[in-house]
Amino acid sequence: MHEHDQAGSADVLIIGAGIAGLSLATALGRQGFRVSVIDGASRPEAPKPGKELQDWDLRVSALTPASIAFLAEIGVWRDASTHRAAPYDCMRVWDAGGSGSIVFDAGEADASSLGHIVENREILQALLQCAQALPCVELCWGHALETMSSAGSGWLATCSTGREFHTALAIGADGAQSKARQLLGMPTREWSYAQTAIVATVGLAHGHAATCWQVFLESGPLAMLPLADPLKVAIVWSLDDAAHRQIAALSDEAFVDALNRAIGPTGPVSEAVGSRASFPLSQRHALEYCDESFALVADAAHNIHPLAGQGINLGLSDVAVLTQELVAARDGGLTLSSSVPLRRYQRRRKTENLAMMAAMEGFKRGFGTLNPLTVLGRNLGLNVVDRQGWLKRWFMRQAIS
């Protein structure tokens, strides 16, 4: 890992050292590109290995087999899949307002698992170890992006430390409130769900059976995601704002009671809850993913409702495709400032991301209603899919690829 005082140059400058930024730095570094990564935060500390309720990260991700394959390809999955990763082979989805339900089982899709639930900080730490081991990757913590200006066929970026970076290609991987995207004036389309999600680690009375549980309630969806400890799950409980104010104000004991009522007899019984956090839900999509010698990836380009835990998978797919296109362009004799690989990246990713966002919006609207015809339709739909083996296998293939 290199370090310089005031000036630096790189083939690629990545703004943001989160999961997307570090995975892109690792993927490009392994391909021989000189990469600098800047982030305003301090270097994250290695997480403590405890198994008590308070020892688990409140942010977890449901990694699909396709995402895991990509992380394995760039040398990360072995470190991220230690004792803290939880494979799940079953997903149960049902509607609290009716009788519709569906069960996805890995065996029906001829897969060893449907995916893994992993704490975000574990993924980040494994990426950090891999990135900093690459001699052509420089990680710059405490370097917040301040300005970006066009410099010939590339960019000149200035950081809060006063350090400047000259780069042929800049990548915005700095999250939903992307400073890089704002500096370049790239417009977004966004809307609020008028919902807030509560996240927490919950202790169960009995084992989670390597199953993801998701119920659609009148006030919003509730998901229970299995952790590596068989008696603990991570919850993501999305609530309309009025309902959130009531639930968030409950004591731990009352919260567990409300959780058990919400999940009902179909789901596991909760006994205890650790610390809770809340965050407002919105959906945002950049109208364009790329500009001259600049591209957006992951949440900087699109962020979606956490309904299906697909956010990280869409982001890692962005990273994989952008890496492929940059390597192909270099091998074909194009410069890094060429618009060709960036336009190809945008074409390949925008359609899939928009389709997922539309699906999440459809789920949100379809299940967030008391209209009896809609309720009947969604229950019939879940039951029809559950009974039709070929249709259910198709849905599962979409979910795990």
Enumerate the domain spans of the chain: 7-46+53-400
Sequential pLDDT tens for the chain (401 residues): 444 434 568 999 999 999 999 999 999 999 999 999 999 999 999 888 888 999 999 999 999 889 999 999 999 998 777 779 999 999 888 877 666 677 778 776 667 888 899 999 999 999 999 999 999 999 999 999 999 999 888 999 999 999 999 999 999 999 999 999 999 999 999 877 788 999 999 999 999 999 999 888 888 889 999 999 999 999 999 999 999 999 999 999 999 999 999 999 989 999 999 999 999 988 889 999 999 999 999 999 998 777 656 689 999 999 999 999 999 999 999 999 899 999 999 999 998 888 776 665 555 444 444 444 444 444 444 454 445 454 445 455 555 55
Question: Could you write out the DSSP letters of every residue in 350-373?
Answer: HHHHHHHHHHHHHHHHHHS---HH
- At residue 112, the pLDDT reads 81
Burial, 238: exposed, middle or buried (Cβ in 10 Å; 0-12, 13-18, 19+)?
buried
Residue 238 identity (one-letter amino acid): S
**Distance (Å, whole) CA 265 – CA 212:** 15
* Closest C-alpha to 244, from 222, 227, 268, 270: 222
**What's the alpha-carbon Rg for the chain, to the nearest Å?**
22
In the chain, the amino acid numbered 108 is E
Question: What pLDDT does residue 385 have?
Answer: 44
Give the pLDDT confidence score for residue 358 in this predicted structure.
Answer: 64
Rounded CA separation 60/58 (Å): 6
Q: What CATH number was assigned to the domain covering residues 7-46+53-400?
A: 3.50.50.60
Residue the block writes with tokens 């309309």: 240
Phi-psi region of 242 (alpha: psi -120 to 50; beta: other; left: phi over 0): alpha
- Two structure tokens written together for 253: 């004991």
